[in-house]
Structure formats: structure tokens, C-alpha cells
A and B are shown apart, each in its own frame.
Chain A
Amino acid sequence: MSAPVLQVRNLCVHYETDAGPVKAAENVTFDLARSERMGLVGESGSGKSTTVLALLRMVTPPGRIRGGQVLLDGADLMALSPEQMRRMRGSAISLIPQAAMNSLNPVMRVRDHFYDTILAHDRTMSRAQLAAHTGELVEAVGLRPNVLRMYPHELSGGMKQRVCIAMGICLRPKVIIADEPTSALDVVVQRQVMETLGRIQRQLEASIILVGHDMGLMAQFVDKIGIMYAGRLVELGPVTEVFGLPLHPYTRLLINTLPSLDAKAVFKGIPGQTPSLLNAPAGCAFHERCPDAVGDCWKAQHVLTEVLPGRWVACPCHAGAAA
């Protein structure tokens, strides 16, 4: 087993507000192997977007990275200078942000978006080289080369999203982070875009972190899945195993309450609400809603531990549980 391409250790991100710190991400720890697809799933406010922004050191005030290491091929991204980090972004680790298609510049042609990105990292490329490179990129995402001459408003939602994917990979990064890349798209286009993303990833032999809240999409796409709740990673493991036998009560509830095509009119939810990240309860963040909470859960902080090879969970009920 080769060394993981990305190692995240105890990453903490807080938002400083007038009323105190909001702990958006606490002690997030995981590894990402080469050519691996990992999913980071959670509801709104779970900290998944904050975590990936922190990986790129793109957290803006009032948010601040309070601690932790992010090792990309051994180099700690947190220890780099701003200029060094800028060079890493896009070339070693890239982000396809949420609703990226809305952030395409409406007065620039598609090809100028690419030129901007590439030239920001490598000023030596000639126009001919740029044209050839971008031509290859758009073909790789399944678009015709005439797209390069178009303006963003002339493209459909799915096409714009694929342009954004192409921009995310144009410098051949080792790690691609896709934050809800298909949230505004319908199922058919979503499938096409995800299949494109998968194909690109395999060609580049890059790793992907897919951030989202759609468990169905995760099941279809990723190899490994991490579940986040209230700023913490509560479960991590291979996707078939996690879906087959979820260890954390939240994961279990999440999977059980998914609407399915197998039974009609069965409505199950998770009672209660996510706790405030501002005055986070001491102890396990899930204990108020947890059907399996035991005596200590309200005051003891559960740590993510490896209970089975490759299976991590932050819950004492399953520490040492057999499959």
C-alpha cells in the first residue's frame, strides 16, 4: 500500500463571532489514498464545506483555522507561506466550488477562464500551447471544442458545470475537491456529469473528495465515505461496508430514513435538531437525538477510533464490535 496522498490530522476551524467561537470543524482526521474517491457527507452546518475550504486554506475571516495538519504528499500545507500555498492551489490540490457555474464571468469567453488559470501558474505557455491544452481539456469532459468560444450564458447548466470541472483539473492536480458539483442539476445531467468526473479522475490518476448531502449520489460514486455531524467526523469507512452495516447511530438513522422505491408512504425522520455550534453541548454532539445514548454520552467526547481495519467510528457502543 503506497502512502496516502493526503493526510488530514485534527483540523479545527472556528468562526469568531460577537457571541463567541462557532466550532465549525473540530478535530477532523482522515487519509486519502492515491486514485481514491472519498465522499464527505453531512447535512447543512455539519462542517463539510468548511473542512474542504480549510484544506485549501481558503477560509475567510471571521473563520480561522485553529489547528491541525494537512499533509499533501508529505508536505504540510498549513506550514507553507501564502505564496507557496497559492502555487499549490489548482496545481496540486484544486476545488470545484459549490454552484461553480454561477461564478463563471459572464463577460469572458470560456477559453479566457482557462487561460487565466493556467497563466496564473505558468506564464511561459504560448498561445498555441494554451489553445491546444484547453482543447484537450474540454474534450476530456465531453464537450465540443466550439464551447471555448462561447460565453457562459450560452451554455446549459450541465455544460457549465463540466467547464468548471475542466477548470478544476486543467493543471492536473493530485487531489480534486468537488463541493456539491451537481446540486443544481437534474438527475439525468447529474449522472452524466458524475460519470465525466469519474472518467477524468481515472485518467489523471487523481484522488477526489466529493462533498455533498445526497447519500444516493455517494453510494453511486465513492469508494470511501466519511459522515460529518455538527463539525465532527463521526464515521469513516469503505462505502459498501458503511451502507451495509453502519456503526454510528447517526449514520444508521441517516441511511434508514432515506426514501426508497421499495416501500410507499413510509416516512421516517430523525427527531430533534442539530445542536448549535456556538454553545456546543459538552460530550457527544448527537447524544440528544441518539436512540442508543448511554450514561456517559452527554459528557464524554467520543473520539474517532479505528474499530475494524479501515473502519473508523466516534461512538463507544461499537468500539470493538464485530462485523
Chain B
Amino acid sequence: MSRSWGYVRRNPLLLVGVAMFILLLLFWLIGPQVIDVTRARPISAMADQRPSAEMPLGSDSVGRELLPNLLVGSLYTFEIGLTAGLIGLVVGTILGFIAGYFGGVIDSFISTAADVALTIPALAVLVVIASVIKEVLNVRNLALIVAALSWMRPARTIRSQVLSMRERSYVEIARLSGMNDWQIIVQELLPNLLPYLAATLVGAVAGALLAAIGLEAMGLGPQTEPTLGMTIFWCNYYGALLRGMWWWWAPPIVAILYVFAALFAISSGLDELANPRLRRAR
């Protein structure tokens, strides 16, 4: 335990990132106890109010109180990012393992599919899909759409890791010990990839968040849930910038920056953990 603490002290980025996330979690957990989240719905408060003692972040043009809006919105946005990132990672990992371990025709098929999908401008596709299913676009569907185009990079990177790990002596020993291919994948290869998977997850979540917020900012998001991206869209729609309503457009931007900063810190920290050569000698 003391050795891990000593390590964390030398890897401040990881600590900072994790701390930022813990703060965010606390905000989400404790927030609803002190803030009335029902006021994030439209027509809950007087519209266009500046921040005051009763409404610390004021309200927007349709009567949403903006502090509850921030709480609920950031949670939704992160939910989208996490769901999409997780689905993308899981699908990508499975495909990456199969392609890397078994090789041959399966590998060619999966790799080509991933390469082709990577060249498609994801945002353009997402825009098309989102505009088509506008009526049923809620948080869950948005997450699924974004996930559909975020499996390729994890698949590619996991595949190359597996390709190099496949030739290691301990895999040969496992084969000589009578393990079959699936047992080798799950028992021998997967555990060694955990730090790598964690880092890839962080990257996948960040990518998914970016895609989701981008879509929402253009209005292609859930119409009823006040995600951060949708808040930015409504800001645009109602001209909040021109009207000087900083309490409306500033908080979502700050929140997005905060989440990305935390993700970046964790990702850098995990990078150092997964790659011992980067570990700084004292």
C-alpha cells in the first residue's frame, strides 16, 4: 500500500485526474440533495434572470434554472460519453482480439472493415443518421449512434497489441500446457492488457463525448434532456452570446473543459503506468 502511495506521488497527473473525477462524482451524488433538479425543466422559473442568491446561475430564456441544468446536463452528457465509449471499447476489443490472435482471413476482414470505417468522416455520418431519426433521438439512441463509429480505433490498437503478445514465450508455454485458444485469450492475454484497455477506454470516452457534444451543438440531440451540448445549442438559438447572458453559455463550456482536463490527466497517468519505460526515475 505504501508502495502504491509512493508511486502516486511520483505520478501526479493520475492523482489529479482521479481527484477531479471524484469531485465530479460528489457533485452528482450530493448535488441532487441540495439542488432541486426539477427546476431544470423548462418553465420552472422566471426566464432570463441574472444569477442571484436564490438562483446561483440564473435562468435561461425558457425558464430553466441553470444550476440544476448544469447538474443534470453534465450527468447526461457524461452518461452518453461513457456508454458510447464502453460499447465502442467492448466491441472494438473483441474484434481486435479475434483479428490479432487468429489472423488470416478473419483478420483481413476485420482490419479492412475498421480501416474503411475510419476513413469515413464520422461527424458527417452522424449528422445524417441523427437528422433521419430526429424524432426518436434521446440520450440512449445518441449514445448508440456515436458508439457505432467509435469501435474502430480500439479494435486497431488492441489488434496490434495482441499481435505482439501472441508471439511471447508465455503464450507458447500456455499452449504446451494444454490451454486452448479462448483460454489463452482470456486468461493469459487479457489481464496483461488491462492498463492498456483502461487507457483506451479513456480515449474512447473522450472521443465519444466530443462527437456527442458536436452533434448536440448543431441541434441534433435529445430535445427534452438538457445535456451540455444541447444547452450550448439553445444558447445559440436564443442568442445568449449577443445578449450578454454569460451565466448561460459559460458554465457548460467550463464543465466540458473540466471533464476533458480530467480525462486527459487520467489518460496521461495511465500511459505512464502501462509503459514502465516512461516511469520517471527519481
Contact = CB atoms under 8 A, between A and B. Distances in A.
A243 B20 CA distance: 66
Interface in B122-163: none
B154 to A, nearest CB: 29
B219 to A, nearest CB: 49
B1 to A, nearest CB: 14
B281 A62 contact: yes
B243 interface: no
Contacts of B6: 18
A61 interface: yes
B282 interface: yes
A89 B75 CA distance: 60
B261 to A, nearest CB: 30
Contacts of A62: 281-282
Nearest to A18: B6
9 contacts: A16-B282, A18-B3, A18-B6, A18-B282, A60-B281, A61-B281, A61-B282, A62-B281, A62-B282
Nearest to B282: A62
Interface in B194-223: none
Q: How large is the interface on B (under 10, 10 to 19, 20 to 34, 35 or more residues)?
A: under 10
Given A61-B281, A62-B281, 7 more contacts: A16-B282, A18-B3, A18-B6, A18-B282, A60-B281, A61-B282, A62-B282
A60 B281 CA distance: 10
Interface in A1-34: 16, 18
Contacts of B282: 16, 18, 61-62
For the complex, would chain A's binding face be called helix, strand, loop or mixed by DSSP majority?
loop
Interface of A: 16, 18, 60-62
Nearest to A17: B282
A18 B2 CA distance: 11
A23 B281 CA distance: 17
Nearest to A16: B282
A62 B279 CA distance: 12
A61 B6 CA distance: 18
Contacts of B281: 60-62
Contacts of A60: 281
A50 to B, nearest CB: 15
Interface in B239-282: 281-282
Nearest to A15: B281
B176 to A, nearest CB: 26
A61 B280 CA distance: 10
For B3, B6, B281, which residue has the most chain A Cβ atoms within 10 angstroms?
B281
A18 B9 CA distance: 13
A18 B3 CA distance: 9
Interface in B75-107: none
A195 to B, nearest CB: 34
8 pairs of A and B residues whose beta carbons are closest in the complex: A62-B281, A62-B282, A61-B281, A18-B6, A16-B282, A61-B282, A18-B282, A60-B281
B200 to A, nearest CB: 28
A62 B281 CA distance: 6
B167 to A, nearest CB: 18
A60 B282 CA distance: 11
Nearest to A63: B281
Contacts of A16: 282
Nearest to B7: A18
Most-contacted residue by chain B among A18, A60, A61, A62 (CB, 10 A):
A18
A24 B271 CA distance: 30
A16 B281 CA distance: 10
A61 B282 CA distance: 7
Interface string B1-45: 001001000000000000000000000000000000000000000
A118 to B, nearest CB: 30
B10 to A, nearest CB: 10
A233 to B, nearest CB: 27
Nearest to B3: A18
Nearest to B2: A18
